[in-house]
A and B are shown apart, each in its own frame.
Chain A
Amino acid sequence: EVQLVESGGGLVQPGGSLRLSCATSGFTFNTYWMIWVRQAPGKGLEWVASIKPDGSETYYVDSVKGRFTISRDNAKDTLFLQMNSLRVEDTAVYYCTGAPPSHDWGQGTLVTVSS
């Protein structure tokens, strides 16, 4: 059974940092592109970042470029999202999933950026 479990969310002040983790199991993690998707309260889904299986290529939505870094540890089947210089508009539930079509999703972790 495929499992993805996000963690690391919480309340942070504007300008602060958080590191999200996504522990995975049940599939060959090191062969899959992985992505982060977020959903602001009451809003739609938004792709945030993608990473190649070997970690050699990464891509970001324009609004997070230079502030967020996606990475992975294939030895531990874990995906990360380092979020720096957080803004109020980054408030959202963050999901990790395999690159589309995304058959399996985690439950999400809530990031709240507020003073």
Chain B
Amino acid sequence: SYVLTQPPSMSVAPGQTARITCGGNNIRSKNVHWYQQEPGQAPVLVVYDSTDRPSGIPERFSGSNSGNTATLTISRVEAGDEADYYCQVWDRSTDWLFGGGTKLTVL
């Protein structure tokens, strides 16, 4: 069955760039969606179809997808970006699948 691999945690200083990865076999062939989740809150879609940004999401959030790795990039990180981030894809073996999540800490 298909597997998505995310680093459990990462930290970044304010103003720097965070790159959160999501690894999967030939993931470039899939549409990857990214969600942000703050503690006690429902997830929020921040990137869909690998590179598109929903209305209302700051331009600081962007996505890319190549080879076996999809990446969510957060530029000029702010304290308010501290949250858990999940990637998501559809695969015929697992239907909808989430990565394990990455806890982003803003130093």
Contacts and interface: CB of A to CB of B under 8 A. Distances in A.
Interface string A75-103: 00000000000000000000100011111
A50 B37 CA distance: 21
Interface in A28-46: 35, 44-46
Dominant SS among interface residues on chain B: strand
Interface stretch (A7-15, A19-27, A66-74, A104-112): A104-112
Given A45-B86, A47-B96, A100-B88, A108 B101 contact: no
Nearest to A44: B101
A105 B97 contact: no
A99 B96 CA distance: 9
A45 B49 contact: no
Interface of B: 31, 33, 35, 37, 42-45, 48-49, 54, 84, 86, 88, 90, 95-101
Interface of A: 35, 44-47, 50, 59, 61, 95, 99-103, 105-108
B33 A44 contact: no
Nearest to A100: B33
Nearest to B44: A105
A50 B42 contact: no
A101 B86 contact: no
A45 B45 contact: no
B43 A100 contact: no
B6 to A, nearest CB: 9
20 contacts: A35-B96, A45-B37, A46-B98, A47-B97, A47-B98, A61-B95, A95-B43, A100-B33, A100-B96, A101-B33, A101-B48, A101-B49, A101-B54, A102-B43, A103-B45, A103-B54, A105-B42, A105-B43, A106-B42, A107-B42
